[in-house]
Structure 1
Amino acid sequence: MRPTLPYSLLALFVASTAQAAGRIELDQVLIEDKQQTELESATERLHEIPGASNLVDMGKVEQGRVASNQDVLAYQPGVFAQSAGNDGIKLSIRGSGINRAPGAHGSGVYTMFDGLPLTGPGGTPYELFEPLWLSRAEVLRGANGFDQGSLALGGAINYVTHTGYDAAPLQVRYEVGSRGYQHRHISSGQVLGNLDYYVALTDSEYDGYQAHSSGSSKGIAANVGYRFNPNLETRFYLRYRETENELAGRLTKDQIKHDPRAANAAYLARDDSRPQPGSTWVGNKTTFYLDDDARVEAGLVYHDFPMDLREGPMRLKVAYTDVSGTLNYLRRDTLFGHESKTTVGWRTTKHLPNSGASQFARTSGDNFGARSRDFSYQGSDTVLHAGNDLELVPDLWLTTGLAMIYTRRESDVTYPATGGKVSQHDWDYAPRLGLRYDINPQLQVYGNLSRSVEPPHPWSLIWSSTSNTQPIEMQNQTATTLELGARGDSALGHWDLAWYYSQVRHELLAVEIVQGLPAKEFNASATVHQGVEAGLDSTLWERPGTGKLSLRQAYTFSDFHYRDDDEFGDNRLPGIPMHYYQAELRYDWPSGLYAGVNTQMASKVQVDYANSYHADAYALLGARLGWNSPKQDWQTWLDLRNLTNKRYAATVTPGYDDAGQDVARSTPGESFGVYAGVSYSFR
């Protein structure tokens, strides 16, 4: 527990004691107090949203292997995150982006770094996701990302980077494990008067589970903040990262059962790979405190993310550059004697004119022949949103909001022919209405009704075309969602439970027509997304001086299906398991030693829209052993994955109608693996 002394007296006492001992440790006290305050503030902020959310504390995640975003989002109800064998993961929240293959772009979830946009008209590239740069992640499921300007079906995720306030002056970390896995990290962060900084260098390499699936990455993250006075502060951010991944391709169900480490023969023969030559994300966020109850936040981001896609019978060199701006006004008032909180925000993201691609014929590896096509991607997303929380009676809050969205999508083929251009401009809207009631400090119930809007990617207009020269037009995906839920603390532990029902129109669904070529995306007929999300963190037994036994559980039920489709009737949408469960049973000793066992279970997954074939259900077991020193400087751990060496499909990239045939649609999950790590923080 934190001391109850006033902070100024506590700091004076610590400084005096440290001086008497011949050393000064005041900076350490400042850093630790700031970190606790930020986590508590995030918890309180999420508790004020009338809907489901998750708060991921990276201090807990880092007590084991942290290889990708899959490890960050583990044990989170309502979130499906599975690795595709490299940095790219298949991420889906409430069926968002359910059938877009893990790869260069994600969709259906609005993603931010430090409250600033990463997601743009072209989706969410994955190469800047280095988990060891993070202090926490905030997941706002569904419409609960409204105040961040998110209108996506899956909501929003804000990945928050360390700053000088919550980082050690020096930290080094090293992870090593099965199949050539290595992950190295060094960072530094400090507070120097009104200025603070954080800088981190990270690199990784791995041989991969499948043949021809090795990869590597290296990157830097940095930020520097300055407080000019109590009413004005600013922070600059930088992320740069390079990744290179060989591509093993997908396997059949029979291959996963008998030879899961094989590579897809076509991918192997062509030597497919996906180098990301270097992505840069630079941003600034400046906050003006107008008074104790009002502030303005202004943000600006430049994002450059080129790609060199050597997949299938082509090589695609892509140049993407986005620029984003945000402006938010937040105010607390008293309205007719009732407390009121208002947020008015604006955000826009626009592709710069150099965004485009050149396509070449290709035989294998780096060899490529004649240029076959040039085309450009243009697009912008602009959202103006206003929301209010009004306390109607004590502990009963009404949430209202309205967002207006303007989207522009253009795809233009400039070679070998000109004039193959599609330009779409759309206005849309997204209202939001919610209620939350704190029955007592240990129990809250809530509900909300909302609308979401998601435009297609500009590249979908090209790749979904049957012609190489004429893109097609597509409609925005929209959904109306009802959500009901509750959360609280009880004798069972801290729990949360949410149910949602979404009627989706023009859902953007992708289907792989020809293996090795990008999936084609189309607007589907009417669909339904409904589900239950449940989380429970329990202390099963605890005795002072002896230790604590705890259990954390996360369960997600996902029912996504057509509504009377002309061809597929009420078929389930392929790609995501209906039942997904994760749990960890852990014992902590007072010395800092901990040990636990964990499990992950998933039901079968349909692999085509005709529901003619499926990937099998699976259950995995794991174990973890580690030690955190009482001074919080040394940390070490041993992480055992898939103890029973289960062979299973981690992700599925659906086909249209496989007619009951076993087609290569699945990426195999990793087999038994051993990972170890050590970290030292100089404070």
Structure 2
Amino acid sequence: MRPSLPCPSSLGLLGLFIASASAQAAAPLELGQVLIDAQQQSAELNEARERLQQVHGGTNLIDMQRVGQGRVASNQDVLAYQPGVFAQSAGNDGIKLSIRGSGINRAPGSHGSGVYTLFDGLPLSGPGGTPYELFEPLWLSRAEVLRGANGFAQGALALGGAINYVSHTGYDAAPLELRLEAGSRGYMKRHVSSGQVLGDLDYYVALTDAEYDGYQQHSSGSAKGIAANVGYRFNPNLETRFYLRYRETENDLAGRLTQAQIKHDPRAANPVYLARDASRPQPGSTWLGNKTTFYLDDDSRLEAGLVYHDYPMDLREGPNRLKVAYSDVSGSLNYVRRDTLFGHESKTTVGWRSTKHLPNAGASEFVRVQNTTSAPVGTRTRDFSYQGSDSVLHIGNELELIPNLWLSSGLAMIYTRRESAVSYPLDGGKVSQHDWDYAPRLGLRYDISPQLQVYGNLSRSVEPPHPWALIWSSPAIGGRQIQPIELQNQTATTLELGARGDAAWGHWDLAWYYSAVRHELLTVETQAASLTTASIVGEANASPTVHQGIEAALDSPLWQRAGVGRLSLRQAYTFSDFHYRDDPQFGDNRLPGIPMHYYQAELRFDHPSGFYAGLNTQMASKVQVDYANSYPTDPYALLGASVGYTSPKDDWQTWLDLRNLTNERYAATVTPGYNDKGVDTARSTPGEGFGAYVGVAYRWK
């Protein structure tokens, strides 16, 4: 199937807003008023903004202070209004996240793929993917998104790039903060935190818990956790910080629905999931880390990191209960230096990171089906284990060729090991594969003026398969035994061109990219679940595919008057064209999983007293639900509104957040099938209907 033309409704609205902003250009506006007021930003936020402006490609900086002026339930709220980022909730903590087509076909709530994720510059992602249960947004100060190959300096080689979630510390936290959120369908969230600087030592600690009944039947859940970090500066040249995250989640699962069900009864649960009382408890995940920084001199520093990550799972979704015991350890070392090379300013980064599964990373299955004579309840049916490691060595340089023209170059080497084994009921089902691969990068950035920058880069990305995919992609032998298979690394060559700047109509960002992907790792459900059998899901290397798209953002000051207030508009548009290249079976079909057009906007009024009010919208085009492109979801448009108040001293705030005002019935996420032959199959998770949420927060300073 060939790509269709852009959605007229979304582009028309975008053009209308741009025209409205341009009409105000004649009014006297200072450039400083276009940007976020610097006096309201911490020094770290400003530093992060300047650092991301120097990247030779697309980036996003997310200030959690702005996100916190409404409901903050999941990572979807954090990543809203970000160009190039598709993030939709599956009704619980798990979201479907895709950047430039990464993980487009993976089920929401599973281990994420295609985006390398860090907490405070330390690894969270490992050989098994990225688990979601440690993502508590209220623990964050900001988030930095480096799309595509722009996460190179972090050692990220994945197609989607990297996201670094930065925690609060004693330097940006209040001595005591209380926050309460409540709303529709039993939603309740409580948060208490404290942070202070005590001489050379600072600390931050937060306790958060949440509960909700869920939108669908049988979709209630709860979560509770703690985050803490403590830092110490021994002297101006040496500092260290220790981190802790621990969180438990428990989610009932409603399963996916057909498009007809979403249209007529979106709150229903999938009958199979309901009959099984399906759930996914996360008994408790722990992430412990340390980062120590040595400032060798004014122009160089050395950063050393160490992480321990334990994330067990208890999956009760199929006829068999699956217990998984994951744990891994990561180490990182980064050397950064500024100097002069051949008379030109130069910045060099040399980095190494390695993540390795510990020996207890494995799993066992137990039968749970009632009235099964061949395998009674409690019978052990299979034991298997996963092992993997990723090691990346990367070196990069930024060189100013002539004033304001910078050349970025780099090369990364990656060594991966993947092992999967089945030891019961029959021993010998094992696969072990070891691979070396490489990822070069070359880019240019030209600062035409302080208000205009253009850039381009050419890069290669590498993504190895997860160890568990070697088993899940395998056919059953003898009805019980599984023989693992080998999968190749997914690679892509990407060209990116873009520009960003400030003008009378606002701060804008525009990027275009084209990725030629080989051996793309695509997941597909080939058999739906029944009351007596589990769904069959496999992962395989695809024939060549193309990922190309446009990422655009515009923050505009539409009107303002001293003492009266200001009216502003922020917009984000993502065009995603992902398709096969002459596949023998599917031709040029679009890859299913996410919409081609995705648009978000918020029109907001801010009064000098601290009162604010806004209207927002989210629009998405149809989504193909199978690789044959035989059946799509319906496009949708959502409307929302919010009002709130922040005190002049910023010591307390309150807000009302209204979601989906028209109670639109729509598919929020899609888990693709192979070929549904035009039949409306249960592959979509419904988005939430109308909801009202209120919140209040108080900070003792």
Task: Tell me the TM-score range normalised by the shorter chain.
Answer: over 0.9
Query: SS of 1:519's equivalent?
Result: strand
* 1:39 paired residue number: 45
Select the residue among 422, 431, 435 that pairs with 1:422. Answer: 431
TM superposition shift of 1:646 = 0.3
Between the aligned partners of 2:207 and 2:269, the Cα distance in structure 1 is 32
Q: Deviations over 1:155-209 (max 9, x none)?
A: 0000000000000000000000000000100000000000000000000000000
Select the residue among 408, 416, 422 that pairs with 1:407. Answer: 416
Q: Gaps (5+ residues) in structure 2?
A: 1-37, 530-534
Between the aligned partners of 2:41 and 2:655, the Cα distance in structure 1 is 23
Select the residue among 367, 373, 389 that pairs with 1:380. Answer: 389
* 1:281 paired residue number: 287
Q: Does 1:89 align with 2:95?
A: yes
Q: Does 1:440 align with 2:449?
A: yes
Query: SS of 2:494's equivalent?
Result: strand
TM superposition shift of 1:364 = 6.9
Decide which moves more: 32-41 or 582-591: 32-41
* 2:594 paired residue number: 576
Query: SS of 1:166's equivalent?
Result: coil
CA contact (8 A) 1:575 1:607 kept: yes
Q: Does 1:192 align with 2:198?
A: yes
State the identity %. Answer: 81
Query: SS of 2:482's equivalent?
Result: coil
* 1:65 paired residue number: 71
TM superposition shift of 1:592 = 0.2
What TM-score do the two structures reach when normalised by structure 1?
Answer: 0.94
TM superposition shift of 1:368 = 4.3
Query: SS of 1:348's equivalent?
Result: strand
Select the residue among 498, 501, 505 that pairs with 2:514. Answer: 501
TM superposition shift of 1:34 = 11
Between the aligned partners of 1:457 and 1:421, the Cα distance in structure 2 is 15
Select the residue among 514, 527, 538 that pairs with 2:556. Answer: 538
* 1:342 paired residue number: 348
TM superposition shift of 1:515 = 2.4
Select the residue among 492, 498, 501 that pairs with 1:485. Answer: 498
Query: SS of 2:50's equivalent?
Result: helix
TM superposition shift of 1:360 = 1.2
Select the residue among 598, 608, 611 that pairs with 1:593. Answer: 611
Residue 380 of structure 1 aligns to which amino acid in structure 2? S
* 1:172 paired residue number: 178
Q: Does 1:107 align with 2:113?
A: yes
* 2:35 paired residue number: none
CA contact (8 A) 1:314 1:368 kept: no
CA contact (8 A) 1:269 1:364 kept: no
TM superposition shift of 1:148 = 0.1
CA contact (8 A) 1:282 1:301 kept: yes
Give the root-mean-square deviation of aligned CA atoms: 1.2
CA contact (8 A) 1:298 1:327 kept: yes
Between the aligned partners of 1:340 and 1:359, the Cα distance in structure 2 is 55
Residue 558 of structure 2 aligns to which amino acid in structure 1? L
Residue 142 of structure 2 aligns to which amino acid in structure 1? R
* 2:17 paired residue number: none
Q: Does 1:618 align with 2:640?
A: no
Query: SS of 1:311's equivalent?
Result: coil
Residue 443 of structure 1 aligns to which amino acid in structure 2? L
Residue 258 of structure 2 aligns to which amino acid in structure 1? T
Between the aligned partners of 1:358 and 1:33, the Cα distance in structure 2 is 55
Select the residue among 209, 212, 215 that pairs with 1:206. Answer: 212
Residue 489 of structure 1 aligns to which amino acid in structure 2? D
* 2:466 paired residue number: 457
Q: Does 1:79 align with 2:85?
A: yes
Between the aligned partners of 1:618 and 1:33, the Cα distance in structure 2 is 39
Q: Does 1:529 align with 2:547?
A: yes
* 2:308 paired residue number: 302
Map 1:329-368 onto structure 2 (within 5 A): 329-363=335-369, 368=377
TM superposition shift of 1:436 = 0.2
Query: SS of 1:372's equivalent?
Result: strand
* 1:673 paired residue number: 691
CA contact (8 A) 1:321 1:351 kept: yes
Q: Deviations over 1:6-46 (max 9, x none)?
A: xxxxxxxxxxxxxxxxxxxxxxxxxx999611001000110
* 1:216 paired residue number: 222
Residue 106 of structure 1 aligns to which amino acid in structure 2? G
TM superposition shift of 1:513 = 1.6
TM superposition shift of 1:130 = 0.2
Residue 272 of structure 1 aligns to which amino acid in structure 2? A
Map 1:655-666 onto structure 2 (within 5 A): 655-666=673-684
Select the residue among 137, 148, 151 that pairs with 1:145. Answer: 151
Q: Deviations over 1:281-327 (max 9, x none)?
A: 00000000000000000000000000000011111000000100000
* 1:11 paired residue number: none
Residue 384 of structure 1 aligns to which amino acid in structure 2? L
TM superposition shift of 1:104 = 2.9
Select the residue among 501, 519, 527 that pairs with 1:514. Answer: 527
CA contact (8 A) 1:271 1:364 kept: no
Between the aligned partners of 2:464 and 2:176, the Cα distance in structure 1 is 44
Pick closer, same or farther for the CA change 1:34–1:354 going to 2, 3 Å: farther
Q: Does 1:247 align with 2:233?
A: no
Between the aligned partners of 2:658 and 2:40, the Cα distance in structure 1 is 34
Q: Deviations over 1:96-135 (max 9, x none)?
A: 0110101230010000000000000000000000000000
Between the aligned partners of 1:414 and 1:326, the Cα distance in structure 2 is 33
TM superposition shift of 1:52 = 0.2
Pick closer, same or farther for the CA change 1:227–1:213 going to 2, 3 Å: same
Between the aligned partners of 1:132 and 1:261, the Cα distance in structure 2 is 28
Between the aligned partners of 1:613 and 1:538, the Cα distance in structure 2 is 38
Decide which moves more: 34-43 or 76-85: 34-43
Q: Deviations over 1:370-424 (max 9, x none)?
A: 1111001000000000000000000000000000000000001011111110000
CA contact (8 A) 1:585 1:596 kept: yes
Between the aligned partners of 1:309 and 1:590, the Cα distance in structure 2 is 51
Between the aligned partners of 1:284 and 1:196, the Cα distance in structure 2 is 15
CA contact (8 A) 1:143 1:452 kept: yes
Q: Gaps (5+ residues) in structure 1?
A: 1-31
Task: State the aligned residue count.
Answer: 651
Residue 139 of structure 1 aligns to which amino acid in structure 2? V
Q: Deviations over 1:414-446 (max 9, x none)?
A: 111111100000000000000000000000000
Residue 175 of structure 2 aligns to which amino acid in structure 1? P
Between the aligned partners of 1:427 and 1:133, the Cα distance in structure 2 is 37
Decide which moves more: 356-365 or 532-541: 356-365
Between the aligned partners of 1:341 and 1:234, the Cα distance in structure 2 is 24
